[in-house]
Every structure is written in C-alpha cells, then in structure tokens.
Chains A and B, each alone.
Chain A
Amino acid sequence: MQDLAVSASGLVKRFGDRRAVDGVGIAVPKGLIYGVLGPNGAGKTTTLRMLLGIIEPDEGERMLLGSRHPRDMSDHVGYLPEERGLYPNMKCREAIAFMGALRGLPWKVGRQRAGELLESAGLGHAADDKIRKLSKGMAQLVQLLGSVVHEPDLLVLDEPFSGLDPVNQERLELLIRGQRDRGATILFSTHVMAHAERLCERISVIAGGKVRFEGTVDAARALLPLRARYTPLQAADGIAAMLPADAVCEEGSWRFTVPEGGIEALLVRLIDAGHGISGLSIERPGLHDAFVRIVGDEALAGQPETIA
C-alpha cells in the first residue's frame, strides 16, 4: 500500500436530523490527482471540510498527512473553498501573500512568490491591482494561487472549475498538473466529468452522503458495456430484428450496446444478410455515462439536499 496523504473511514455529519455525510471513507495516495465526484448536494463539500478539520465529524476517523488532528497540519495544506472569497480592497500580490502568511509563509517570501505565480498564470499585469477590479474568473485564479503559494503537500480544491471560461479552465488544469509534478497531492471535487476524466488518476463518487464508487477513471468507465454505432449500406426493414433490443435508429445509423460475446458474430450476420457496413464505431462510454449509472436516476432527480 502506498503512503496515504488523506484517509478517512466512517465519516458521519448530521445537520439536524439529516445525515449530510453518512459513513464516507476515502484513501488518497500521495502524489496523485484525486477527484471526488458527485451531484450537487451529495456531501462533497462537507466531506472535504471534515477532512480538513474546518468542521468536526460526528462520527468516524480521519488522517491528514499522517496526523489525526488535521488542523495541526494546516500549514502544509492548501485549500480553495467552494465559496470563493477575497478581501476586495487588497492588491493581488498582497492577497496571495496574506493567504501564504496564514499558513506560515513569511510575508516577504509570499510577495515575491506571488509575483512569480501571477506572472506564470498570465496575470502579471494585475499584480498591483485591487481584487475588486478583477473579473470573477481572474479573482478565482488569484485565490487559487494564494492556496498554493506556500507550496503545500496537499492541495484541496472544491469545485475549482466552476465559473471559469474554457481558457482559464485550461490554465487551471495546467496549474494543477504543475502542482502534482512538484510532488503535491491534489484532492478536488467536481460535478463536471470532463475535468475529472482528463485530470484524475483516481476518483471517488459520492451521492446521498455515501461513497458509490472508488477507483480509476477507466474502472469507472468499464462499469458500462461498449456502445456501437453501425451504419448499413442502405436502410432495410430486417435490420432492427437482427440488432440487440436496445438499438435505436438515428438518421440511418443504429446505436446499440455491444453484446456480451463481442460484436463480431453480429457483424458476420449483418454482412451475410447483405446489409453491408458503411460505417462502424465502437466507443467506451464516457465518465459522464458511468457517473449517471453509478449515481442512479434517483440521486440525480435530486433530493432536497443542498450542502453549503
């Protein structure tokens, strides 16, 4: 077993009668980019906050960077909360240095690194601008820089991509990879599958306060069978009967689930019947589909659960 940056088992948090987090366990190996996925209100944020020691769990154990008291390690952790917030009257450079100072980085070093970080993030021109002058996306990047300025061993990002345009999302992905390459462990939550698919080496899917899946992205995708898209040479009546029951015709192409024994036998039958093959593609379903499958319709329908 690899060294774990974060581990927890049986975490429970009750808000009134509701169990917002109901027995969540997690194990994040060091040096990985780890995603916590889940629909809105699944308990992701509450879980992250418990792992960081911002709030205390009602039940369960957690270890953060080898300590049972996460707060003792706070100088080695960077955190981007879901609710973004910076002092609007602070200059970018100062804001970043301030966030570093909170985590034990001397102000002077913080200011210097802030300049470099802003420069590398393409915000060098804004170093001496006040936060209030920045766009929302820029402010978010500044806050992210503030959470990495002290070069933390663990970086926890809560919905880091929300509110960013595609260009800034790309910058953020680069930055996250950069932190991983530096040796940091990154734990982030999202409900946007595309980012998780591109970035994460492992994921946990949380829904309804419980862990529904843990493993690699590929393992998650493998939960669903392959999908095929077949286009015959020309439309004919007999085709539908030969294809699996879930086949659907769209503009002359058929989409269906690849049968368990593989698609070859089916193709042989189609060719023998003279339908021919004008187009064929076999796709692994995306994380999106896997996610929907894991979380289930019931969870997606959305219980009245919103967790701040």
Chain B
Amino acid sequence: MMPRFLRQALTIARRDLTATVMTPTFLLFLLSPLLMIGFGVIGGLSGQAASSAGEARQQIVVIAPADQRQALQAADRELRSVFTRDSARPRLRIDRAEADPALQARGLFDSDAIEAAAVLYGPLDHPVVLRRSGAEAEGRYLAALAAQTLRAERAGGVRSTPRFETVTREAPTVSGRGQAAYFSTFAIFLVTLMLSGQAVGAMAEERSNKVIEILAAAVPLESVFFGKLLGAFGSALIFVGFWGTLVANLPRLLPGDAAGLLSSLSVAVGPVFPLLLIGYFVMAYLLQSAVFLGVGSLASTQREIQMLSLPITIFQFAMFGMASYAAGNPESWVATVAEVVPFSSPMAMAARAANAPELWPHALAFAWQALWVAMTLTIAARLFRRGVLKSGSPKRAKRAVV
C-alpha cells in the first residue's frame, strides 16, 4: 500500500513541481528577496558614503615639538588597534609647534585646508585640548594619546607585547543561546511565512480546470493532497536551497567582525543543530501548508482564496509570537505549550535545541509533528471528499455492507 501511495503522491508532486518551476514567474519568485536585499544595500551604501565622505576629511591635530613626533606616532598606532572600524577616530596630523601654539591651534579650526575635529597643544603633562562641539570623543582621544606618549617616554622602553589566542567556549553562553534560539525561531518563521502561504491556492488549479475529477478517480485524495504538499515543498526547497547556499557563504563575504558575531550564536545541542533546524523547517512548512492546503481546497473562488490570506498570516504570526516567547523564556509554561501545540512546535523546538542539550525531545517532537501532518492531510481530504465531491465517508458505507 505504502509504495503505491507514495508513488501516486510523487507523480502529482512531480507534475506540480514542473508546472511551478518551469515558468518565468518562478524566477521572479526565486529572485524576489534580491529586490529586498538590493534596496537595502543601495540605501545602506549611499548613507554610508555620505557620512564617510565627511569623516574622511576630518582630522585630529597635535601641535608638538619636532622631537616628540615619533613617540606620538608610535602611541597613536598602539591606541588605534583598540578601535574597530566603525568607531575609528579621524586621522592624526602632527604639526610642528610655532611661536604661539594657542593661536596656531585656533587658526586650524578656521582653516579651509583642514577640517579639524580636535587640536591638542602645550606640554604633554598639561595639554590643552580644543575641540569642536560634537567632537568630544576625539578630544578625549587626544588627551589619552598625550598621556600614553608621556607614559611611554617615562617608562623608558618597557613595552608590553601581547600574544593573541582565540578561544571557543564548549558550553555556549546564556545570552548566546537566547540569541540563537530567537534567531532560529525567526528564521523558520520567516521562511514558512514566505513559502507556505502558496499552498492555499494549490487545489484551486485542479478545481477550476476540473482536473480534480481525473485525479480523484485515479488516486486516493490523501495521495493527491500529500502530492500537492510535496510539490509545493519542492519549490520551497529550491528557494531555500538557493538562498541558503548564498547565506551560508555570506560570512566569508562579510567583514571579519560580523562573521565573528554570527559564530557567537552558539547552541546547546552542538553540531547537530543545523540538521535539527532544517528538520524543523520541513515540519513547520509541511504542517502549516497542510492546513492552508486543506482550507484553500474548500474555497471555491479566487476571491475566497485571497480573503484567506489575512487570517493565515495572522495565524502564522500568532504561532511565531508564542514560539519566540518560548525562545526567550525556555522554562516557562508558555514554552511547554508552544512545544506541544503542533503548529508552533517546530519553531519552539528549534529554540529549545538552542537552549537545552537533550536530544530525545526532538525525536519525540518530530514524531508528534509528523503525526499531525498526516492527521491534517487526512482531515483535509475527508472534508474535501464530503464538501466538494459530495461523498459520504467510506467507513459508514463499509459498515452498511457488513
């Protein structure tokens, strides 16, 4: 029975997948996030360009005798290594002290040749720092630079040369877990939100083309529904695969510190986490799509299907709300509820994988969710058989025969 059921479902899935993928619209669908990313990048770039253009011209200036120049430069190099790219200070310029350094320093703020954020002059142990309003940090930096140069001078060649080693924690930090939990919940939510709504209209094509009669005559409705689900899942998988590959390679393209942030999202269950995440995405998709497929199959017009999209989105948000609360509060009763309620279970369980190391609840959860996929499909097929094909349940008929 099972191979036949599966064979029938796969036939339908194959037809659906081909019909979906072999259209220009699918390309649009596949690349639609590109538009979003594109707009984001363009907006970000132009903002950055505007601000960095101003920053690049800014300078901080130290007015000092010529013999301090080298010491100042060395101290500046050391201090700068503390800053990350975003918080870097403007370039340092060292001017030779003239007769009246105070006048010279003030003159720099009026000069057209330079855009000075802050200027330091005077002896290093009692320097005077002039700064533009808004350039408080630059002023403090110059003061720190003076102190550091002075200390280096007094210490007489005593230097600290550190050696850097990167250490990864065996057990992830609590905050890292929380972030990972929320991140995985959100990822599953976002992807299912984008993809599973498609299932609503899956049966509409059959009903409007009257193909349903052919399908229903040839294979059981359960196979039809499961096949439709698989077909929609196939195109979702292409979408996720395409973007997943891109995103997985993203850390390499990102600047170093951002990649570091991503890897700090470490999780409790360890290296199986990506597998669990994929598994829960599959379950979340199948569960929600099964509901939408069933509901959508009962709608008789396009208009009704469109009307359904709002309640569907609200339903998805509600499930996400519950699961994301569970991600933040893994010990709460809401978390338990979210893990048990089948439609929020995949998201909540993905969060749990980030929060708690035990693996057995996941096996249980997969079985539970799979059961619900089957139940949802069966119920959907029953409703369809009754409501659309106008047939009583086979069981009652069998009893009558007996």
**Contact of A58 with B211 in the complex, beta carbons under 8 Å:** no
**Contact of B391 with A87 in the complex, beta carbons under 8 Å:** no
**Contact of A87 with B15 in the complex, beta carbons under 8 Å:** yes
Looking at A48-56, A177-185, A237-245, A265-273, the stretch in contact with chain B turns out to be A48-56
Name A156's closest neighbour in chain B (CB-CB). B217
**Contact of B397 with A89 in the complex, beta carbons under 8 Å:** no
Give B327-355 as 1s and 0s: 1 = Cβ < 8 Å from A's Cβ atoms.
00000000000000000000000000000
The smallest beta-carbon distance between B4 and chain A, in angstroms, is 8
Docked pose: A101 CA to B217 CA in angstroms: 13
Size band of the interface chain B makes with A: 20 to 34
Which residues in window 46-67 of A have CB below 8 A to B? 52, 54-59, 61
Cβ of A55: which chain B residues have Cβ within 8 Å of it? 385, 389-392
**Contact of B218 with A85 in the complex, beta carbons under 8 Å:** no
Docked pose: A84 CA to B217 CA in angstroms: 13
Docked pose: A103 CA to B397 CA in angstroms: 25
Which residues in window 165-206 of B have CB below 8 A to A? 205-206
Cβ of A188 under 8 Å from chain B: no
**Contact of A81 with B213 in the complex, beta carbons under 8 Å:** yes
Cβ of A59: which chain B residues have Cβ within 8 Å of it? 400
**Contact of B219 with A79 in the complex, beta carbons under 8 Å:** no
Cβ of A52: which chain B residues have Cβ within 8 Å of it? 217
Which of A61, A84, A85, A89 makes the CB contact (< 8 A) with B19?
A89
Which of A61, A74, A89 makes the CB contact (< 8 A) with B219?
A74
Docked pose: A54 CA to B390 CA in angstroms: 10
The smallest beta-carbon distance between A307 and chain B, in angstroms, is 10
Cβ of A249 under 8 Å from chain B: no
**Contact of A54 with B391 in the complex, beta carbons under 8 Å:** yes
Cβ of B218: which chain A residues have Cβ within 8 Å of it? 74, 79, 99, 102-103
Give A62-103 as 1s and 0s: 1 = Cβ < 8 Å from B's Cβ atoms.
000000100100100101010111111110000000110111
Docked pose: A146 CA to B213 CA in angstroms: 14
Docked pose: A77 CA to B220 CA in angstroms: 14
The smallest beta-carbon distance between A148 and chain B, in angstroms, is 13
Which of B14, B19, B217, B392 makes the CB contact (< 8 A) with A87?
B19
Cβ of A85: which chain B residues have Cβ within 8 Å of it? 206, 209-214
**Contact of B215 with A102 in the complex, beta carbons under 8 Å:** yes
Cβ of B393 under 8 Å from chain A: yes
Given A56-B394, A84-B210, does the pair A98, B15 have CB atoms closer than 8 Å? yes
Give B6-18 as 1s and 0s: 1 = Cβ < 8 Å from A's Cβ atoms.
0110011011000
**Contact of B213 with A83 in the complex, beta carbons under 8 Å:** yes
Docked pose: A89 CA to B206 CA in angstroms: 12
Cβ of B88 under 8 Å from chain A: no
Which of B7, B209, B389 makes the CB contact (< 8 A) with A86?
B209
**Contact of B213 with A56 in the complex, beta carbons under 8 Å:** no
Cβ of B71: which chain A residues have Cβ within 8 Å of it? none
Cβ of A104 under 8 Å from chain B: yes
Cβ of B401 under 8 Å from chain A: yes
Name B220's closest neighbour in chain A (CB-CB). A71
Given A79-B218, A87-B205, A102-B215, does the pair A56, B210 have CB atoms closer than 8 Å? no
Give A134-175 as 1s and 0s: 1 = Cβ < 8 Å from B's Cβ atoms.
000000000100100000000000000000000000000000
The smallest beta-carbon distance between A22 and chain B, in angstroms, is 15
Docked pose: A30 CA to B370 CA in angstroms: 44
Docked pose: A201 CA to B128 CA in angstroms: 116
Docked pose: A12 CA to B174 CA in angstroms: 67
Most buried by A among B390, B393, B394: B390
**Contact of A58 with B392 in the complex, beta carbons under 8 Å:** yes
Cβ of B367 under 8 Å from chain A: no
Minimum-distance CB pairs A-B, first 10: A85-B210, A55-B391, A102-B218, A81-B213, A56-B397, A85-B211, A83-B210, A101-B11, A79-B217, A85-B209
List residues of chain B with CB under 8 Å of any chain A CB: 4, 7-8, 11-12, 14-15, 19, 205-206, 209-220, 385, 389-394, 396-397, 400-401
List residues of chain A with CB under 8 Å of any chain B CB: 15, 52, 54-59, 61, 68, 71, 74, 77, 79, 81, 83-90, 98-99, 101-104, 143, 146, 308
Show 7 residue pairs from A and B whose CB-CB distance is below 8 angstroms, ordered by the A residue. Answer: A54-B389, A55-B385, A85-B211, A85-B214, A90-B15, A143-B214, A308-B390
